[in-house]
Amino acid sequence: MRKSKEDQTASESDIEEWHTRAAKLNDMCNAVNRLFQRLTHCNNRELLYDLYSYVWDMRGVVSLLNSYVKWLAFGRFPSTMTTFTQGSYTWFSNGWKETFMSGDQEPWVFRGGLTADLQRLIPVDSGNDLFVYKAPEVPSSKIYTIRPYLASDEDAVYAVCNKIAIV
């Protein structure tokens, strides 16, 4: 069954919009990383120690979401993908957004703040271990980025495996 010209044009515009939004998310992720870097190099150490854990958490979640979107852009999913994502409730689940956007809820209904809301966007039921890492005791400006595996990474992966096997 062939798509009509209108359906194909609509599909192409949807794809273009998706890539535009993914690029905006990547830009925002880079902005959060810059904020994190500026904070860690801040002369006011008291301010740094007060805000560090919050910005560290936010940077980690935004980076993970950005990596998830980049992985989606590759379009190569395992056949068992649906078994990993069933049962998750996100803003995109039927009725979820409408329930919480009606304005009838008290403020304490929304637990966890922005970081928890962003974590809920990742459709993984068993992803609890993704968010158990605590901020370092001593603030560090090191940033680790999770990204999709690329074919060009193969030599580096083998090198790591060989180093581990030798030890």
pTM of the model: 0.62
Domain spans of the chain?
5-75+112-165
The predicted pLDDT at position 20 comes to 93
The predicted pLDDT at position 39 comes to 93
The predicted pLDDT at position 33 comes to 93
Query: Contact at 8 Å (CB) between 122 and 131?
Result: no
Give the C-alpha separation, 115 to 111, whole Å.
10
Give the C-alpha separation, 27 to 6, whole Å.
31
Of 117, 118, 158, 142, nearest to 40 by C-alpha is 142
Give the C-alpha separation, 23 to 29, whole Å.
10
Which residues in the chain show pLDDT less than 70?
1-8, 10, 76-112, 123-134, 146, 167
The predicted pLDDT at position 138 comes to 77
The predicted pLDDT at position 35 comes to 94
DSSP label at 43?
S
In Å, what is the CA distance from 150 to each residue of 26, 29, 64, 141, 162? 18, 20, 17, 26, 19
